Structure 1
Amino acid sequence: METVAALVVTYNRLADLKKCLDTLRQQTRPLDAIFVVNNGSTDGTAEWLATQPGLAVTTQANLGGAGGFATGIDTAYRAGHTWVWCMDDDCLAAPDALAALLASPNLGPCIKNSMSVSVNSREELAFFVDRPHRAYRKVSDMTGVDLVYDVASFFNGTLVHADVIKTIGIPDKNLFIWGDEVEYMTRAQKNGFPIVTVPSSVFYHPASFDRDGIPWPAAWKQYYAVRNQRRVLQNQYGNTVGRLLFASWAAKATIKQATATRANRLYNFLLYGEATLDSLTNNFRKRPDTIRTLQFYNWRHK
């Protein structure tokens, strides 16, 4: 008998977490287990979770989304579940979201993603997707078909089969945030597992935004998006070609930051350069408080 475990990773968003868990408890196809990984929240999350029945809770230091999903997927997989349904704490699942995923065409071991719809506009996707011959912006771009191949918004209603986990392992916690989900997706593709979005399964999520335009000091997160891109390209094109493609892309992106007219371009330039150098020297140890550009920014803005 197939079993499905939900996995929610949370960090300092207790109000969102409560709403997310409510939608999981209301699924028309009841879940067999709900795992929650608390990434060291300081907003009362741990205390509230301790009062909740029916949850398997792991509390750890803040290891970012990558570390949270690495812990959670490993825990659910070791518990013997057939499928692990992964999501951030700001996701809201439609009542039949899980039932629709399970009722969609059988692809064997695979990854099936719910369609992520913006909470602000039910006609717009939460995450825009560009493919060589098709752009996905509206809900209508995905509806009308059973499956949309090679499109998925990890980890927002992402249903992963145990055989996929057995083959490709768990997310790399060293990636911390931003890019870890794409690296995991391309790792699955590299190993030949189908990845699809199921439009009949709906998740609601805050809309994505232009990461390059995030104001400082929050723009430090872009460090990880740049640094982790090398791993994505190497999954797609092999180690040597992927590394060369990353070096070329990162150099152009760094120069673009230096010549942009946007505010804080100095810090953006330094951040991109630091991320590029760290990636090429295989330095994946940095956490937010050790990013030198962020330290420099904070020193100048005491």
Structure 2
Amino acid sequence: MKRIAAVVVTYNRLDDLKKCLVSLQTQTRQLDTIYVVNNGSTDGTSEWLAKQSDLTVLTQANLGGAGGFATGIAQAYHDEYDGIWCMDDDCLATPNALDNLLCSPNIGPCIKNSVSLSSQLNDELAFFVDLPNKAFRHAADMASFDMLFGVAALFNGTLISSEVIKTIGVPDKKLFIWGDEVEYMSRAQKMGFPVVTIPKSIFYHPPSVDRDGIPWPGAWKNYYRIRNERRVFQNAHGNKYGFIMFLFWSIRATFNQLAAFRKNRMYNFLLFAEASFDSLLNNFRKRPETIFTLRLYRFMHK
């Protein structure tokens, strides 16, 4: 029987973490172990985790979701688990979520993902999917499929085969947040591993916050989404052509911010420009406190 480990990354969401862990501990297919990667939480999470004897806790500075999953996946792979089931701390798995992933058709080494439904509107997807010939917005849109190839919202109920990790490695911790999951998915596909969603395996997750544009100051997270996109283009199209495609895509995305007529559109424009420029210069060192546009916004709104 395959040995399956869960990896949960957490940062300052203790109440959510507790609920997430209960949903994992009550799976119909019992997990072999649960790793919790604590990204330097300051809300009492560290103290609570220290009292839990049934968890394997990995503690580090806040390296974002990318750094958290890189640490957790690397440890679980080192400990020789066959499959590693990854999720954020604000996910809730239905009791048979893992069972349904494991009982889905065997397509060899791959990445299988649960469906993320909105925790606010249970019939709506937490992350909308737009394909060239179909848009997925509700659970019913996916219900007729046994599996959907090329569709996945990593890392929300993401089961990664150890064979995939052996070949492509772990998420790139330099990407920090937002886009690291897309880069990892595109890296797997580049190496020929299927990435699929299993509609019968269900998670609940807060809906995507970027459907209508994130209000400032929270919009700084878009910096990472734009900056990290260059790696996705290069995985899909090769280093040279992918770089050129990202250049033109980022210019268009940046100037579209001026035409969006949203509040704080000038800050959006500056943020997208900063992210694009840093990506083209291969500057992946910035943390939130060093993003120039965010510092400018905070200075102007003291």
TM-score bracket, shorter-length normalisation: over 0.9
Structure 2 unmatched ranges of 5 or more:
none
Q: Distance in 2 between matches of 1:131 and 1:257?
A: 23
Which amino acid in 2 is paired with 1:226? I
* Aligned Cα root-mean-square deviation (Å): 1.0
Q: CA deviation at 1:86?
A: 0.2
Which amino acid in 2 is paired with 1:232? V
In 2 relative to 1, CA 193–123 (structure 1 residues): closer, same or farther, beyond 3 Å? same
In 2 relative to 1, CA 26–143 (structure 1 residues): closer, same or farther, beyond 3 Å? same
Aligned counterpart, 1:231: 231
Which amino acid in 2 is paired with 1:45? T
Aligned counterpart, 2:184: 184
Within-5 A mapping of 1:1-302: 1-210=1-210, 213-302=213-302
Tell me if the contact between 1:212 and 1:222 (Cα under 8 Å) persists in the aligned partners: no
Q: Which runs of 4+ in 1 moved over 4 A?
A: none
* 1:194-235 deviation per Cα after TM superposition (whole angstroms, max 9, x unaligned): 111111111111111326621111111110001001001111
Q: Distance in 2 between matches of 1:144 and 1:301?
A: 50
Q: Distance in 1 between matches of 2:229 and 2:145?
A: 31
Structure 1 unmatched ranges of 5 or more:
none
Tell me if the contact between 1:149 and 1:194 (Cα under 8 Å) persists in the aligned partners: yes
Q: 2:137 is paired with a residue of what secondary structure?
A: strand
Q: Which moved more, 1:206-215 or 1:8-17?
A: 206-215
Q: Distance in 2 between matches of 1:216 and 1:199?
A: 34
TM score, norm. by length of structure 2: 0.98
Q: 1:95 is paired with a residue of what secondary structure?
A: coil
Q: 2:9 is paired with a residue of what secondary structure?
A: strand
Aligned residues: 302
Q: Distance in 1 between matches of 2:14 and 2:88?
A: 12
* 1:23-68 deviation per Cα after TM superposition (whole angstroms, max 9, x unaligned): 0000011000100000011100000011112111011100000000
Q: Which moved more, 1:169-178 or 1:119-128?
A: 119-128
In 2 relative to 1, CA 229–186 (structure 1 residues): closer, same or farther, beyond 3 Å? same
Q: CA deviation at 1:150?
A: 1.0
Q: CA deviation at 1:258?
A: 2.4
Tell me if the contact between 1:211 and 1:222 (Cα under 8 Å) persists in the aligned partners: no
Q: CA deviation at 1:91?
A: 0.4
How many percent of aligned residue pairs carry the same amino acid?
65
* 1:177-202 deviation per Cα after TM superposition (whole angstroms, max 9, x unaligned): 00000000000000000111111111
Q: Distance in 1 between matches of 2:153 and 2:255?
A: 29
